[in-house]
Amino acid sequence: MKQLLTVLLIAAIVLLVLGIAVQAVKFLLYVGLAVLVVSGAVLLLTREQD
């Protein structure tokens, strides 16, 4: 029974870490998309001025 609890504890910790990592990846994905849009807009604006 003690081994089962140990395995469940390890599984819970792994799932918690993965959940946090997925949230971080989602946030970074949105940040990356925002940077891409801003850099594209800046590129278009600087091309029009030349």
What's the pLDDT tens digit per position in 26-40? 999 999 999 999 998
**CA-to-CA separations, 47 to 7, 23, 35, 37, in angstroms, rounded:** 59, 36, 18, 15
Q: Residue ranges per domain, the chain? A: 1-49
Q: What is the pLDDT of residue 50?
A: 62
Average pLDDT over the chain reads 88
Q: How far apart (Å, rounded) are the C-alpha atoms in residues 12 and 39?
A: 41
Average pLDDT over residues 12-30: 90
Give me 10's structure tokens: 């390890």
